[in-house]
Amino acid sequence: MRTASIVIVLFVAACSGSSKPGTAPPPSPSAQRTPAIAPDDPMYARLEGTDYDNACTTDADCHTGGCSGEVCSHEEGVITSCEMRQGGFPTQGASCGCVESACIWYRAP
């Protein structure tokens, strides 16, 4: 009888969670982020570092590089030419981080 009591206690403990029935878990940080650079931007490839390995699992995997810190990529030490486009880069107010397993510039609400 004692073994049955222990099993019931363990079962109840394993089944009771902190989430309420019918509630969804909070969205992942990646789901709350939107890309800051449009794919049709003439500087997209440079700013998003498409010539580099951009695979990531966390923001810590992503780095900024280039002459003006305009490149977001997994690679460290990216070097670019130092011309600045008129009006600057669209990375102003954006962050470099991991979104859907890729290092990109993003904005968060």
62-99 pLDDT tens trace: 999 998 899 999 999 898 888 887 888 888 889 999 99
| Amino acid in the structure at residue 77 | G
Region 48-61 average pLDDT: 93
Whole-model pTM? 0.69
- Asked if 30 and 100 count as a contact pair (C-beta separation under 8 A), the reply is yes
Show Cβ contacts of residue 50 under 8 Å, excluding neighbours closer than 6 positions.
Answer: 44
Distance from C-alpha of 51 to C-alpha of 29, rounded to nearest angstrom: 26
Per DSSP, what are the bridge partners of residue 34? 107
pLDDT of 92: 84
Instruction: Break the chain into its structural domains and give their ranges.
Output: 32-82+89-109
Runs of H (alpha helix) within the chain = 2-15, 44-47
Question: Residues 9-34: pLDDT tens digits?
Answer: 333 333 444 434 454 444 455 568 99
For residue 95, which of 51, 34, 52 has the smallest C-alpha distance?
A: 34
Percent of the chain with pLDDT over 90: 41
